[in-house]
Amino acid sequence: MSPRQATVLGLLALAACSAPASSSDDAGAPCTSPAQCNDGQVCAFPAADRCFGLGTCMALHPVCNAIVLGCACDGSKINIACTDLPAGYFSKPVRDPSASCP
């Protein structure tokens, strides 16, 4: 599979597995790690902000079990297909979701 095909497949999986939009009850305080959030919440980072985003405490919304690995800004790999978070949010700041990991 070419990198372009993998990117398209990953984006399709992301669209198909995204959680519903969050309600105002889900949104919380700004954060940089899960330790700063209330019980039952995680620190979620907007994909659009890439490595420069500030997280927001949010409740998880389990939806599916698909896996597409993406590169987090700290060099680790995370699942960007089904994050159990509202669409457009990941568990860590991410590099360009369409780019390959170094």
Domain ranges of the chain: 3-90
Task: Give me the residues paired with residue 58 across strands.
Answer: 42
* Residue 78 reports pLDDT greater than 60: yes
Categorise residue 68: left if φ over 0, alpha if ψ from -120 to 50, beta otherwise.
beta
Q: What is the pLDDT of residue 15?
A: 39
For residue 72, give both structure tokens: 């987090």
User: Cα(39)–Cα(6) distance, rounded to whole angstroms?
Assistant: 35
pLDDT at 88 over 80: yes
pLDDT digits (tens, 9 = 90+) for 3-39: 444 443 444 344 344 443 433 344 589 999 999 999 8
The residue-averaged pLDDT of 76-101 equals 82
Q: What are the pLDDT digits (tens) for 31-69? A: 999 999 998 899 999 988 999 889 999 988 776 778 888
User: How much is the pLDDT for 32?
Assistant: 93
Return d(Cα 79, Cα 95) in angstroms, integer: 13
Largest Cα separation within the chain, whole Å, is 41
28 and 36 Cβ atoms separated by less than 8 Å: no
């669409």: which residue's tokens?
Answer: 87
